[in-house]
Structure 1
Amino acid sequence: MKQLKKQGGFTLIEMLIVLLIISVLIAIAIPNVTKQTASVDEKGCKAFVQMVQGQVESYRMDLKKVPAITDLVSGGYLKTDETSCPNGTAIAIAADGTVSAVEAAAGQ
């Protein structure tokens, strides 16, 4: 009979050590990803406010008055789904034409 060759492989202890290392790396990475999500939402909202500010200025040049959000949508300056920041924060246009993000009041 042929003699069986010893086959090399990983032991259970080696596999557990690898799994432990991967788990530690994942535990370190997930909180960092969560923190970055908030930063991305904030920067996205700032960019959206600047874009709406540009549309307000365009509307003012065309029609010589400060628009409301509904005026921008009905005039084709904004799409109907672009009336709030990507993170859900509402935007407001002041009487002087400046655009800002407005936090929703508690309880609404």
Structure 2
Amino acid sequence: MKNDSGFTLIEMLVVLLIITVLLIIALPNITENNNTIRTKGCEAFTLTAEAQVEAYYMKNGTFPATLDILEEEGYLKQATCPNGDTPAYDSSTGAITADVTQP
């Protein structure tokens, strides 16, 4: 008796075709939402950084001169938004602003 278990070449090609069609449908949607995700990430970073500026102020009695100081002292993991933009920081008021408009 002959054991004919396994997939034929045609079955494998059909599976690859189905996977390709699904990728063609899904990839444009993922890339469109990538900008939205990065924008929301920058908004969240701004809020977190503002809270850390306040924590630094409560501990030291002054606002940090730059956001890099917060990074050096462990208040923040990074001093830039996830999309690479550097937010504007006013050391006299502790205000942080970032351009979060979508490209």
TM-score for the superposition, normalised by structure 2? 0.65
The answer to whether the Cα contact below 8 Å between 2:52 and 2:70 also exists between their aligned partners in 1 is: no
**What are the Cα deviations for residues 12-57 of structure 1, in whole angstroms up to 9, with x where unaligned?**
7766555443322211101111122222212222111111101111
**Structure possessing the higher relative contact order (Cα contacts under 8 Å, 6 or more residues apart):** 2
- 1:30 matched to which residue of 2? 27
Gaps of 5+ in 2: none
- Kindly tell me: are residues 63 and 26 of structure 1, through their superposed partners in 2, closer, same or farther at Cα, counting changes over 3 Å? same
Letter in 2 for 1:82: Q
The answer to whether the Cα contact below 8 Å between 2:64 and 2:70 also exists between their aligned partners in 1 is: no
Q: Secondary structure at the match of 1:99?
A: strand
Percent pairwise identity:
42
Gaps of 5+ in 1: 104-108
- 2:82 matched to which residue of 1? 86
TM-score for the superposition, normalised by structure 1? 0.63
**Number of equivalences:** 99
Q: In terms of mean alpha carbon deviation, does 53-62 or 15-24 score higher?
A: 15-24
- Kindly tell me: are residues 88 and 75 of structure 1, through their superposed partners in 2, closer, same or farther at Cα, counting changes over 3 Å? closer
Q: CA deviation at 1:70?
A: 5.0
Q: Secondary structure at the match of 1:87?
A: coil
